[in-house]
Structure 1
C-alpha cells in the first residue's frame, strides 16, 4: 500500500532565497541610512596634522631672496685704448682716491703728443720772432717820427724868422714863400707819419693777439692731450674696494671697455626681485627684515626699478645697524611687509587649502574622536598663517594637513590603528 508523502513548506532552496532577500533589504536600508547622513571615514590621527587656532600678531608679508650689494658702485671703463702694461693692484683690494689701478701703453697717442708739442713750440717761436720784427719796425718808425718832428721844428723856426723879415721888407717874397711851403710840407708829413704809426700799432697788436690766441688754443689742446695720456693710467675715482678686475698683461683694451668696478665702502644694500603680482603693493619706505645669526635687522625700500622683466626689482637699505658679517654677493632671505602688524584669529598654513579653497576645514571635536567639516572664510595670508574671518574661534583644533582622499568626506573618525 502506497504511503502519502507530505510536501515540505521550508525547503533549503526557499530558506536560501529568504536569507538572500533579508540581506538585500539590510543592505538597502544601510545604504539609505548612509546616503541620508554625512560620509564618514576612519583615519589614523598620526597621519594628520592637527593645529590649534590662535589669536595673535599677524602681518602680511612676502618672502623673497635678496642679494647683498654695496650701496653705491662705480663702474671702471678704459677712457683710452691701449695695451695693458702694468696691473698695479689685486682684485678685492681697498683703494684710496686717485690710486693707480692699471697702466696702459698707446704709442700712437704718445706720438701724437710729441707732434702737438712740436707744433706748439714752433708756433711760440714764430710768435716770438714776429714780436721782435714788429718791435724793430716800430722802433724804426719812431726814429722816422723823431726825425720828422725835428725837421718840422726847423721848418717852423725858419718860417717864423722869414715871416718877420718879410714883414720888415728884408727878404724877398720868394724866400718867404719857400719857407712857408717847407713848413706846410713838414706839418703834413708829420700828420701822415703819426697816422701810419697808429695804424701799424693797431695791426701789430691785432697780429700779436691772434698769434697769442692760437698759442693758447694749441696749449689747451696740448693740455687735453696730456690728460689723455694721463688717462692711460686708470685710477680710482673714489675710495672703495676694486672688484671684478678684468685685465691681463699684454691684453689690448679698447676705449670704453669695462675693466672692473669700485664698490663704495660707505654701506650695503639688498636687491630683491618680486613677482609682478605685487607690483601695485610696493612703495618707497616699505619695511622689510632679514635675520642673521638669529638676530633681526630692519630694511627699508629705497628704490623701485621701473623696468619690469621677470619681476619687480627693488633696492632696500638698512634702517639701523648692518650685520657685521654680511658680504657682497651673499644671498639673504627677506621678509617684505605688505601690511602693518595687527592682531587676528589665525590658523597655521597647510595643505588643506589646496582642496578646500579656504571655504571649509575639518574641525576636531572636543573629545578628539572626530573631525567635522566646518565652513570658514579666510582673509589675508603670510607664509606662516591664514587670517580667519569666520567659522573658527581661538582654541579650536583643526586638521591642516593635505585632504587628498578626504575632500568628499563629511566626517573623520579619528581612531588609532590597533597594535
Structure 2
C-alpha cells in the first residue's frame, strides 16, 4: 500500500516571506510615525530657554528719542534764485531781522522794476487828474464870484432905474435894459449853481475812486519793494540757526527751505515707535527719562499716526522742570508708560515670536520640547504677557525657531 505523506503547513520559504512582510510593515509603520512626529536634535548651548514666571507686568515701551527745540521756524526764499552773498553761518545766534544771505534773481528783479515804473506812472496820472478836478473847482468858484458881483451891480442898477422910471426920469428902454441885465445874471447864477452842484457830486466820487486806486497802487508798490527787499533773506525770529548750508551760486526754488531757526525757549523729544503700539499710544500718557543721574517726567504731547517703515512718530514734552544741559540732537532713552502694572504670567522676549507670531511655542520637559498653542497679550521691553497655554515654572525655548519650526519635537542635548 501506498503511504500518505502529510504536507507541511509552512515551509522555510513561506516562513521567510512572512518574516519579511512583518519587518516591512514595521518599517513602514515606523516611518509613518516619524512622518507624523518629526524630530529635530538641537544643542542646548545654541538655544535660549526661559522659564515662565508670575509677577508684575510693567506696561511700558522703551523709545530712542532725540532732543529738538520746542519751536523751529523754517527760513525760505519767497522768490527763489541763486545765492549771491552769505552773511552768517550755521549754528550762529541771530536776532529778528538779522541778514542771513542774499538771493539773486535777475528776471524777477527786472519784472518788479518794470511793474514799479508802470504803477508809478499810473499814480502820477491819477494825481494829475486830481489836480485838474481841483483846478476846475477853483475856476467855477471864480466864475460864481464874478456872476455874483455882476448880479449885485445889476440888482442895484435895477432898483435905482425902477425908482427913476416911476418918476419918469428915465425912459422905458433904459429901464427894460436894467431889468434884462438883472434877470440875465439871476439866470446865469442859477445855472452856474446847478452846474457847480453836479460838478461837486461827480468830483467827490472821482476823488474817492482816485484815492482808492492810488491806495491800491501804493500797496502794490509796497509789495513789489518788499519782494525786492526779500531777496535779502532775514531771520524771521530770534534763535539759533540750524540746517543751514548755503553755497555761493546754489539755486533754490520758491519757498524751498534754506534752514531753520531754533527758538531758544525749551526743548522737546521726538521718538519713533514700533507700529505694534499704534493703537495704544495716546496724547497725555506719561513717560520718564534719565539724564545726568536725574529722572525727569514727560508727557506725550503729539502722536503722528502715519506709519513709515514700520514706525510712527511721537512728541514728548517735559512735565515740570527740564534738564539744563540739553542740546539739539542729543539721544535719550525714554520709558513710556502705556497703562498701570498688573499681575500676569510672563515669558521673556525672544526671536521665537518672529517665527510663530506668538501663536505657539516649544515647551521643554525632560530634554524634549513639543509644540503647544498659546495666546500672547501685551509686551514690554523685557517680557510678553501670557494669557493662555502656559503655566508658571514651565520652560520654553525663546530663541529663533527658524531652523526647526517645521518639526513637531525638538530633542535638546546638553
TM-score, normalised relative to structure 2: 0.69
List runs of 5+ in structure 1 lacking aligned partners: 1-42, 365-369, 415-419
**Which residue number corresponds to residue 267 of structure 2?**
267
1:148-297 mapped onto 2 (5 Å cutoff): 148-265=147-264, 266-275=266-275, 277-292=276-291, 296-297=295-296
| C-alpha distance in structure 1 between counterparts of 2:218 and 2:351, whole Å | 78
Comparing 51-60 and 157-166, the one that deviates more: 51-60
Larger Rg: 1
| C-alpha distance in structure 1 between counterparts of 2:74 and 2:342, whole Å | 44
**Which residue number corresponds to residue 90 of structure 2?**
91
| C-alpha distance in structure 2 between counterparts of 1:391 and 1:124, whole Å | 88
* Contact 2:371–2:408, Cα closer than 8 Å, also in 1: no
Question: How big is each residue's C-alpha offset from its partner over 1:305-357, in whole Å with a ceiling of 9 and x where there is no partner?
Answer: 24334335131313435455554445544444443212445454567887996
Comparing 256-265 and 346-355, the one that deviates more: 346-355
Question: How big is each residue's C-alpha offset from its partner over 1:19-64, in whole Å with a ceiling of 9 and x where there is no partner?
Answer: xxxxxxxxxxxxxxxxxxxxxxxx9998887767655432233445
1:168 Cα deviation from its structure 2 partner: 3.9
* Contact 1:50–1:397, Cα closer than 8 Å, also in 2: no
RMSD of equivalent CA atoms: 4.5
* Contact 1:305–1:312, Cα closer than 8 Å, also in 2: no
List runs of 5+ in structure 2 lacking aligned partners: 1-41
Q: Structure 2 vs 1, CA of residues 94 and 146 (structure 1 numbering), >3 Å: closer, same or farther?
A: closer
**Which residue number corresponds to residue 144 of structure 1?**
143
1:198 Cα deviation from its structure 2 partner: 3.4
| C-alpha distance in structure 2 between counterparts of 1:77 and 1:382, whole Å | 43
* Contact 1:299–1:317, Cα closer than 8 Å, also in 2: yes
| C-alpha distance in structure 1 between counterparts of 2:245 and 2:47, whole Å | 57
| C-alpha distance in structure 1 between counterparts of 2:330 and 2:142, whole Å | 87
Comparing 221-230 and 57-66, the one that deviates more: 57-66
1:282-361 mapped onto 2 (5 Å cutoff): 282-292=281-291, 296-320=295-319, 321-322=321-322, 327-349=327-349, 361=363
| C-alpha distance in structure 2 between counterparts of 1:182 and 1:127, whole Å | 42
**Which residue number corresponds to residue 382 of structure 2?**
384
TM-score, normalised relative to structure 1: 0.68
1:103 Cα deviation from its structure 2 partner: 1.5
* Contact 1:349–1:400, Cα closer than 8 Å, also in 2: no
1:63-142 mapped onto 2 (5 Å cutoff): 63-116=62-115, 118-119=117-118, 122-123=121-122, 125-126=124-125, 129-130=128-129, 133-142=132-141
**Which residue number corresponds to residue 16 of structure 1?**
none
Question: How big is each residue's C-alpha offset from its partner over 1:100-139, in whole Å with a ceiling of 9 and x where there is no partner?
Answer: 2112233444445554554555456555655555555444
| C-alpha distance in structure 2 between counterparts of 1:84 and 1:378, whole Å | 62
| C-alpha distance in structure 1 between counterparts of 2:339 and 2:300, whole Å | 14
Structure with the higher fraction of residues in strand conformation: 2
| C-alpha distance in structure 2 between counterparts of 1:215 and 1:126, whole Å | 10
